[in-house]
């Protein structure tokens, strides 16, 4: 999957990203949300930059993940922010400690992925950061905040993923062709 994603042209990435952005912007949950976390695309992942601009123009608070030792917190990621690369070379917004938000303080968290199945199980890059960050959702069956939304290319869907006990399924996965899950 990583090799197939890496082989995508800039036009293919932008076209799929545009279609995914359009679908996301129509989600009632996104329209109601005020605090939304988006990742900064790397390695030919679906690009969330246009989505970030549209959300910011609508007065939404946009956040991006910050790596801590074993999980993620989220910092404001508006267009005026300076970004610095973390230990994996992924841009993170410069921030003050007082600006950081926990996942429970967000309405939606958009995540990248390497592969997914129809049940919204996800394979990430292997670090487990999103699983550890969203682990609290396993114990909160009735409270859906934040909505965990994966974005991917349609070719990243696989037949079935054997989830481990620590894996946290997404609520929704959106591709340029179809949506999976419930929102």
pLDDT of 138 above 90:
no
* Cα dihedral sign, 153-50-173-161: positive
Find how far residue 16's CA is from the centre of its chain: 15
pTM of structure: 0.94
Asked if pLDDT for residue 143 goes beyond 70, the answer is no
Mean of the pLDDT values across residues 84-109?
94
Given a cut of 80, is residue 141 above it in pLDDT? no
Domains contained in the chain, CATH given:
2-181 (3.40.50.10420)
Distance CA 115, CA 112 (A): 9
3-state secondary structure of 35: strand
pLDDT tens-digit series, residues 15-25: 999 999 999 99
pLDDT per residue as tens digits for the range 64-81: 999 988 899 999 998 888
| pLDDT for the residue numbered 32 | 95
């Amino acid at each position: 999957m990583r090799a197939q994603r890496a082989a995508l042209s800039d036009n293919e990435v932008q076209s799929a990203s545009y279609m995914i952005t359009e679908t996301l912007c129509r989600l009632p949950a996104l329209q109601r949300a005020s605090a939304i976390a988006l990742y900064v695309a790397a390695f030919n992942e679906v690009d969330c930059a246009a989505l970030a601009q549209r959300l910011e123009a609508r007065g939404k608070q946009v956040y991006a993940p910050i790596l801590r030792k074993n999980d993620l917190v989220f910092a404001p990621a508006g267009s005026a922010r300076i970004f610095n690369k973390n230990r994996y070379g992924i841009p993170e917004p410069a921030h003050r400690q007082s600006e950081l938000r926990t996942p429970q303080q967000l309405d939606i968290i958009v995540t990248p992925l390497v592969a997914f199945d129809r049940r919204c199980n996800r394979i990430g890059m292997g670090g487990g950061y999103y699983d550890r960050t969203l682990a609290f959702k396993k114990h909160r069956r009735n409270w859906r905040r934040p909505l965990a939304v994966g974005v991917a290319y349609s070719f990243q869907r696989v037949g079935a993923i054997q989830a481990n006990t620590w894996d946290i399924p997404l609520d929704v996965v959106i591709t340029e062709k179809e949506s999976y899950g419930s929102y």
